[in-house]
Amino acid sequence: MTDISRAARHAATLLTIALGFVLVPCAAYAQHETAADLLDGERAFRNACANCHGPDGDVIAGIDLGRGQFRRPLTDDELVRIIRTGIPNTPMPASPMTVEQASKIVAYLRARAAATRASVATGDPLRGKTAFDQQGACTSCHRVAGAGARVGPDLTGIGGRRSAGELQRALLDPGADVAPANRTYRVVLPDGTAVAGRLLSHDTFTVQLLDTREQLRSFAKSELREQGFVPSPMPPYRGTPQEIADMVSYLSSLRGQ
């Protein structure tokens, strides 16, 4: 047996222990252990599964795919079969995926569950809400369920659109991955006045912003001295690991109506 094979088997064993399952050895997982394969699995999960299971896989009662929790222990082969053939008399439909595609989803879910279980802090959404409303002063820019400002993006359904990992990254490094609809744009008027805000739309001739006073502003590009995108005005969230976990837990709970 090569060193690579031993390493792969050792990693699979550790993953099995972390997941809390007794897994039947499965060739599907062994074939998809590279970072690229896991990334393919994540993309496939988002495209085919997240609509019903949610970005973290925890929308359906009794199932938390992101933590490897199922209604009964399942081997990799069983999960692959479920993804491809569905579950009769349930909302889980069959899929035209190949065994390889389904196996990559399973590998991604197993790896994610292992990483999640290794996390020390478990978030409390109630504490997170308190921090969001008070200590974090988040409502001065963001809106949730009709309460708060409109300067930043509405977060009412953010938990259904972004995974916990993406939310944590957005908190710690707000400028790392900004959605096109949430970019900040700055213009300088002929008299030198600068106006910045969330970009709503722009074309060849005009640009529309929602400024920091929540006013809709429209400008003719030909009359501007300067214009362009600027970094996100949102500051990084400074908190302990537990406070960050609480905030992420609260944001993940926001699923809209």
Residue 19 sits in the same domain as residue 101: yes
Low-confidence ranges of the chain (pLDDT < 70): 1-33, 116-121, 136, 257
pLDDT tens track for 173-226: 998 888 888 999 999 999 999 999 999 999 999 999 999 999 999 999 999 999
The pLDDT value recorded for residue 71 is: 86
Q: Which of 69, 100, 117 is the last residue of a domain?
A: 117
The pLDDT value recorded for residue 160 is: 83
Kindly report each contact of residues 234-238 with a partner whose C-beta sits within 8 Å and lies 24 or more positions away, as own/partner: 234/141, 234/152, 234/174, 234/175, 235/174, 236/171, 236/172, 236/173, 236/174, 237/136, 237/171, 237/172
The pLDDT value recorded for residue 116 is: 67
Q: Are 135 and 256 in contact (CB under 8 A)?
A: no
- CATH number of residue 205's parent domain: 2.30.30.100
Residue 191 sits in the same domain as residue 165: no
Number of domains in the chain: 3
Residue 132 sits in the same domain as residue 204: no
Q: What residue numbers bound the domain in which 14 lies?
A: 3-117
The pLDDT value recorded for residue 119 is: 56
Q: Which of 65, 90, 117 is the last residue of a domain?
A: 117
The pLDDT value recorded for residue 77 is: 92
Distance CA 201, CA 188 (A): 17
Q: What's CA 209's distance to the chain center, in Å?
A: 26
The pLDDT value recorded for residue 31 is: 43
Establish if 257 belongs to a structural domain.
Answer: no
- CATH number of residue 9's parent domain: 1.10.760
pTM: 0.61
